[in-house]
């Protein structure tokens, strides 16, 4: 008899580990002075609290073999010391050992010279109500960290920002970036996804959320194109990703605890990981295809495709 864990592994071939900036019910903070986080050569003075905290922990512990639970605990400690009440969460597509080593690029992938790709999204909502100030800086700081400390190359990074210089973080472009990442990643490759912007909640319409709400990413053109619902992220990014691709995700936005609808969650207080009580097993039976809201995403710029070759 196939166990639930075995069914999940078969239905979600890739290894996803997501650090989110807050619980589903919480909001996250925009930091107006990242100097308090002692970031080296920080790009600008503003940033997201979750991104700044992760980088602070990593920069202050160079070469230290830290476990996933230690990383989560240290992030929560830093945020509390800075006066923030948001609680970073960790969810995953596997029943990982909380005491296993925190790795964006596993040693096995280094030895096998596997490709490393990144999608970095920063949305300040320039000129709109609710404008943010630190999301572009978050992307620049994460980019610097990935290149300097994790061996990524800028040519293999797709950056979406509403700064007039990069591809705009519209709904269509974000969906297409996720789609392209699944298409070009091969078994054993490494992927990193970073989202810094607004996150939201909308009423659950298909009955798969225990709390009655779907979590969402809010693209720059949300007024015309709507939100990107967690159900969509699961269908577009999580299920289609190829076997054994290791994907680390950093979601720095409000209401992001289960923004990818992954089946396992880590309890930092207990130091354990267990099945996410809000995970709906029916998701695994749905075909791994783009939902109707994402069908317009295939006609993206050729240069985006080239960045993943």
Confidence of residue 294 (pLDDT cuts 50, 70, 90): very low
Q: Is the CB of residue 103 less than 8 Å from the CB of residue 165?
A: no
CA distance 309 to 292: 27
Confidence of residue 63 (pLDDT cuts 50, 70, 90): confident
pLDDT at 104 over 70: yes
* Tens-place pLDDT, residues 123-178: 999 999 989 999 999 999 999 999 999 999 999 999 999 999 999 999 999 999 99
Domains of the chain: 4-306 (3.40.50)
Lowest mean pLDDT among 9-18, 199-208, 212-221, 278-287: 278-287
Q: Is the CB of residue 290 less than 8 Å from the CB of residue 235?
A: yes
* Tens-place pLDDT, residues 16-51: 999 999 988 888 887 766 666 766 556 667 889 999
Residue with the larger pLDDT of the pair 274 and 40: 274
Q: Is the CB of residue 88 less than 8 Å from the CB of residue 18?
A: no
**Strand (E) positions, 12-79?**
15-20, 30-31, 47-48
Q: Does the annotation count 166 as an active-site position?
A: no
- Measuring CA to CA, which residue among 182, 184, 177 is closest to residue 298? 177
Neighbour tally for 213: CB within 10 Å: 17
Q: Active-site residue among 194, 253, 254, 255?
A: 254
Q: Active-site residue among 198, 227, 253, 255?
A: 198
* Contacts made by residues 206-214, CB under 8 angstroms, sequence distance 24+: 206/231, 208/280, 208/282, 208/283, 209/278, 209/280, 210/277, 210/278, 211/24, 211/25, 211/278, 213/24, 213/255
Q: Is the CB of residue 265 less than 8 Å from the CB of residue 295?
A: no
Q: Does the annotation count 254 as an active-site position?
A: yes
pLDDT at 277 over 70: no
3-state class percentages of the chain: helix first, strand second, coil last, to nearest 5: 35, 20, 45
Q: Is the CB of residue 42 less than 8 Å from the CB of residue 137?
A: yes
Q: Is the CB of residue 195 less than 8 Å from the CB of residue 22?
A: no
Neighbour tally for 183: CB within 10 Å: 13
**Strand (E) positions, 235-306?**
246-252, 264-267, 272-275
């Amino acid at each position: 008899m196939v166990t639930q864990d075995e069914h999940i592994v078969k239905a979600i071939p890739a290894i996803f580990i997501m650090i989110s900036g807050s619980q589903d019910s919480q909001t996250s903070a925009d930091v107006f002075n990242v100097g308090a986080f002692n970031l080296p050569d920080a790009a600008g003075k503003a940033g997201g609290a979750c991104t700044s905290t992760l980088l602070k922990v990593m920069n202050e512990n160079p070469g230290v073999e830290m476990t996933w639970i230690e990383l989560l605990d240290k992030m929560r400690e830093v945020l509390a010391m800075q006066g923030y009440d948001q609680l970073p969460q960790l969810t995953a597509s596997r029943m990982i050992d909380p005491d296993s080593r925190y790795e964006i690029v596993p040693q096995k992938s280094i030895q096998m010279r596997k490709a490393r790709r990144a999608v970095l999204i920063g949305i300040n909502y320039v000129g709109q109500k609710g404008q943010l100030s630190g999301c572009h800086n978050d992307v620049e700081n994460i980019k610097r960290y990935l290149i300097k400390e994790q061996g990524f190359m800028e040519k293999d990074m797709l950056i979406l920002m509403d700064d007039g210089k990069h591809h705009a973080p519209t709904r269509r472009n974000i969906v297409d970036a996720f789609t392209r990442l699944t298409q070009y990643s091969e078994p054993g490759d490494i992927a990193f996804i970073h989202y810094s912007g607004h996150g939201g909640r909308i009423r659950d319409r298909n009955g798969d959320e225990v709390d009655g709400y779907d979590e969402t990413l809010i693209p720059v053109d949300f007024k015309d194109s709507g939100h990107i619902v967690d159900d969509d992220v699961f269908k577009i990014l999580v299920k289609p990703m190829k076997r054994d691709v290791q994907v680390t995700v950093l979601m720095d936005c409000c209401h992001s605890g289960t923004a990818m609808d992954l089946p396992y969650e880590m309890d930092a207080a207990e130091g354990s990981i267990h099945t996410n009580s809000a995970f709906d097993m029916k998701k695994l039976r749905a075909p791994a295809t783009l939902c109707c809201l994402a069908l317009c995403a295939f006609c993206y710029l050729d240069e985006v495709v080239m960045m993943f070759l």
